[in-house]
Amino acid sequence: MPSDFLGRIIVILQGYGPSFLSGVGKTMVVAVVGTLIGCIIGFAVGIIQTIPVAKNDNVIKRFLLQIVKIILNIYVEVFRGTPMMVQAMFIYFGFSMLFQINMSVSFAAYLIVSINTGAYMAETVRGGILSIDSGQTEGAKAIGMTHYQTMVNVIMPQALRNIMPQIGNNLIINIKDTCVLSVIGFVELFYTTKGVAGAYYTYFEAFTIAMILYFVLTFTCSRILRYWEKKMDGPDSYDLATTDTLAYTSGMVRFPNPRDKEEK
């Protein structure tokens, strides 16, 4: 083993480069899949939590809806209020002891990341829905839309733009937090790094490589997501256009690009 720091890193990469790449791949797959499933769970829970209850609704409907909301609130509070590492231990080992459910390590990893992300996304979605002006909902109801139609066609397209940064933030958090899955034996980047460090007794060098890899993953994802957000914003300047000839404004009103002022 070379005596210099850079030489030891090169030796580690030569011997365990494929192992690091395998760990990176598993980390990204679990983080992306867990975030996607968590978003689906979060959207479902968030929409249910915002279903209005009117006094003239059926008593059974109001009772059942209230029970469902209480259960969902418990789910959100429990998974937002406990560490993912504890959740991993409880679900993987606890379910085996209490319910005789012996799940694979990979399945447990996806499940844990998904339901943990779902709890955070539920509050994000709920906040995003409530951030939309209530007049939007009233207008949709006035033309006969149901709550489902209002959510899908009016509220969620607007709320999605508001919650996009948090979706990206959850993905970045999950990339880093997958390291806690090593407690149940899931072989991701952190678990791989521990094995490499133990093989050569080069903990500083091995975890330096891991730190760089984690940074590259999170930085790349953050830049891609930021670019996606800008694409959702649309162009900086645009013309108001309409097919109504009495109110035709295309070419008359233009919102200037702030960059034009900077260039002047």
Within this chain, do residues 229 and 134 fall inside the same structural domain, yes or no?
Answer: yes
Asked if residue 252 and residue 153 are part of one domain, the reply reads no
Q: How far, in Å, CA of 193 to CA of 19, rounded?
A: 9
Range of the domain at 191: 17-233
Q: Is 23 part of a structural domain of the chain?
A: yes
| Distance separating the N- and C-terminal Cα atoms of the chain | 60
Looking at the fold, whether 149 and 256 belong to one and the same domain comes out as no
Give 6-28 pLDDT, tens digit per residue.
888 998 999 889 999 999 999 99
Residue 92 domain-assigned (yes or no): yes
| Residues 58 and 82 grouped into a single domain | yes
- 80 in the same domain as 143: yes
Asked if the structure places residue 4 within a domain, the reply is: no
DSSP states of 100-167 as a string? -----HHHHHHHHHHHHHHHHHHHHHHHHHHTS-HHHHHHHHHTT--HHHHIIIIIHHHHHHHHHHHH
Residue 177 DSSP SS3: helix
**pTM listed for this prediction:** 0.80
Judgement on whether residues 246 and 211 belong to the same structural domain of the protein: no
**What's the chain's length in residues?**
264
CA-CA distance, 201 to 19, in Å (whole number)? 17
Tell me: the pLDDT tens digits for 121-136?
998 888 888 888 888 8
Cα–Cα dist 52/155, whole Å:
14
User: Is there a single domain that holds both residue 252 and residue 221?
Assistant: no
Average pLDDT score over the chain: 84
Q: Determine, yes or no, domain membership for 9.
A: no
Q: How many domains does the chain have?
A: 2
Q: What is the pLDDT of residue 256?
A: 57
Instruction: Give the model confidence (pLDDT) of 146-185 as tens digits.
Output: 877 888 888 888 888 888 888 889 999 999 999 999 999 9
Q: Are residues 202 and 259 in the same domain?
A: no
Report if residue 1 sits inside a domain. no
Q: Is the Cβ–Cβ distance between 79 and 171 less than 8 Å?
A: no
